[in-house]
């Protein structure tokens, strides 16, 4: 009878261990699934990051071109202002101003 109880206890222990093993295997499968999802998310984020880097590069290039254009326009404006100052201080400008004043009076 003692042997029957020991056999029964062993079978109960085996069932308990099998149940525990099945639970562990289920958790492992769940973790593997979560890992695959995380890996896919990482891959997607890497792709997004690469796309954003490409866009940033294009924007930086565009900004550089705009800055060059702005510098050119500023230089052109400075040159034209210098010409205007030269003209205003010239004898012709003074005569034109005097003539305009003379015509208005």
pLDDT of res. 90: 73
SS3 105: coil
SS3 53: helix
pLDDT of res. 93: 65
SS3 1: coil
From the CB of residue 102, how many other CB atoms can be counted at a distance below 10 Å? 8
User: Can you list the residues of the chain whose pLDDT is less than 50?
Assistant: none
From the list 32, 52, 54, the residue with the least C-alpha distance to 44 is 52
DSSP letter, residue 90: S
CA 90 → CA 47, 59, 76, 77, 99, distances in Å?
64, 46, 21, 20, 14
pLDDT of res. 16: 96
Q: Is 90 left (phi over 0), alpha (psi -120 to 50) or beta?
A: beta
- Extract the tokens encoding 58: 């294009």
- Decide: pTM greater than 0.85: no
């Amino acid at each position: 009878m003692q042997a029957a109880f020991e056999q029964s206890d062993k079978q109960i222990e085996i069932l308990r261990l099998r149940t525990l093993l099945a639970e562990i295997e289920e958790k492992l499968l769940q973790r593997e699934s979560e890992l695959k999802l995380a890996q896919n998310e990482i891959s997607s984020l890497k792709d997004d990051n690469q796309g954003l880097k490409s866009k940033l590069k294009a924007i930086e290039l565009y900004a550089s071109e705009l800055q060059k254009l702005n510098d050119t326009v500023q230089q052109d404006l400075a040159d034209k202002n210098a010409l205007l100052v030269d003209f205003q201080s010239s004898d012709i400008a003074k005569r034109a101003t005097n003539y305009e004043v003379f015509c208005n009076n």
